[in-house]
Structure 1
Amino acid sequence: MVLAPMAGITNIGFRRLCREQGGGMFVSEMITSRALVERVPLTFQMIRFGEGETPRSIQLYGVDPVVIGKAARMVAEEGLADHIDLNFGCPVPKVTRRGGGSALPYKRNLLRAILRAAVVNAGALPVTMKMRKGIDDDHLTYLEAGRIAAEEGVAAVALHARTARQHYGGAADWDAIRRLKEAVTEIPVLGNGDIWSADDALRMVAETGCDGVVVGRGCLGRPWLFRDLDAAFRGSPERARPALGEVGDMMLRHAELLCEVVGSERHGLADFRKHVGWYLKGFTVGAETRRALTSVVTLAEMAERLGELDREQPWPDEADGPRGKSGERDKVALPHGWLDDPDDTTVPGADAEDATSGG
């Protein structure tokens, strides 16, 4: 069970919240390899780990084998993490238009060079990769990318069963996870996409034969999903169905952790605003109360507002389902001529790895 890296979400506070609920591997936010190598201070803040957090998992994004190699060696030699995951799944335009994320596996030889550099320089640290099916239905890359990963010594591959064009819309193609598992037998294959409940995870494993699951948007406003996953994979039918009062308690705990991470109640609570709607999805909570919870500036004020909720309101049946980003793209933003030659090993320009491109 893996918590998928999510920009602006999977910081040290959220990872701790999820770890308090259940087991698994909890990966950092996506880190730009060049920013790590250049020791950008903000990047080092993003890869902080909590006391007792193990294994410490970091996800790197990059397009240059040399830079990725330096970053992997740095992580290994300086003891920055216990595991490196490489991002080839990010679909956001500011990444794909520079040749990164889910655009990169189309350049199969460049992908191979990056994976080789990471594995060689990481030494004893395991290196994994996360990818999508491809750019769009006409440019699928996941089967070849999975085989290349196995050949280059990658420890495991995770497939988000959507194309970059799908972004976060439509339905995940779980059959693609099954096909990847059948094609790549040397290393574990993990499945990602449309796991909104523990029973979804059980169904994915049963239908695809995958070796594990990666959960992203499914735990937004639902950190107890890891408690459910623990129970489900132990064979227990027990599932968390918290009443609104317990949800409110979890919201306050999450807010406290964010404030601790940021070092400021005002800024921590500002960061928490995006989580309010996810936690309250499906519950009957008035618009005024929701607005109030997104405008508090102190934890005491938040606790007071949460105390106004109907604590006995039961878990709503419609609470599960999609949260977070959604919708498809008309097309995928790519560098000029990117699709002309899949064997081209030209490294995209340096701006593809600027300090802010890894979102």
Structure 2
Amino acid sequence: MKVCVIGGGHGSYAAAAELSEKGHHVTWWRRDSAAFSSLVERGALEIDDHRGRRQIDVDGVDSGTGGGISIVADLAEAVSNAEVIVAPVPAFAHESLARQLAPHLRDGQVVYLPPGSFGSVVFAQAVRAAGNPADVAFAETGTLPYLARKHGDTRVVVSGYATRLPTGVFPARHTDRALAVLGEVYPAVERVEDALSGALMNAGPIIHPPLILMNAGPLEHFPSWDIHNEGTQDSIRRVTSALDAERIAVREALGYGAPHFPLADHYTADGDEWMYGNAAHEKLTDSGDWRENIDLHTHRYMVEDVEIGLALLSSVGRWAAVPTPVADGLLALAGAVTGRPAATGGRTLENLGLAGLDPSGMRALLHDGPAQ
């Protein structure tokens, strides 16, 4: 299958490597094409995972039967023949990327946002704003398909692969077609009701806000700190569990069914299989790759998971009349830390123009997509 990978972060590197190794032909684009210079000069991307260390040719020729990675500087060219566009970029990049991508999409393509934080609506709105009549399916899931970290510009280390990817599609009328196509790229995809259900599977806004805000002291004191290791203590876990209970309560109020992928299953080896399988937390902490410097003003855990993902959860709670006191409290703390309006400044139903919909209008939007 022809796949375009967008972005230059950890997830994009892992996606380019894995999808090429699976035999798909990958075109790879990022905004700053010059940042690929080391990779192009070396001519290979190195991946290190449970199967060992190996190299994947970059700018290989597609034979029609095998894979290859072709770095393409022009976005229109990169996506022109792609059946699936995988964009594992942070949610704060969605608006600008959506505007760039919107004129170039065509009928039948599937755009995958892992995870999305309701970014599927952002992309669909951008397509309509660009006057592009293409009927595109936008899909989003609850996490990156990889526990991955880049080591320089030519190497990526993957500590774990997702085994379950609950995925919603916008508009939901395209669900059958989109998941059939995505299943060829990511066999771990699992159907959920729609894109809002998929957005409310996002684990980042549940796991990261308590970890960074309740570890603010050591994060600012030490040159590096592992929030998933020393930073994950019983008191913080209790807050995370309470926050996750709010997420699940919102899902249930909206009529979304189980499994809700409770975050508690991420921390245990004997619960239901979570998105990265059982004992995924140990894989993450054992790698050592998450011992890092986290700037509370600029790190994506704040600007993506708090100011976009957690703000979205809180706003959906308001819309559905479901109290979210832990989410609201964390947003208030984040705003005090950064001086920015964390609760209202990011991706909320209000800012998406959807807060005025009644439940039937929301269901219609989620199923049919934005009006032509």
- TM-score normalised by structure 1 residue count: 0.30
| Bigger relative contact order, structure 1 or 2 (CA pairs below 8 A, ≥6 apart) | 1
The structure with the greater share of residues assigned to strand is 2
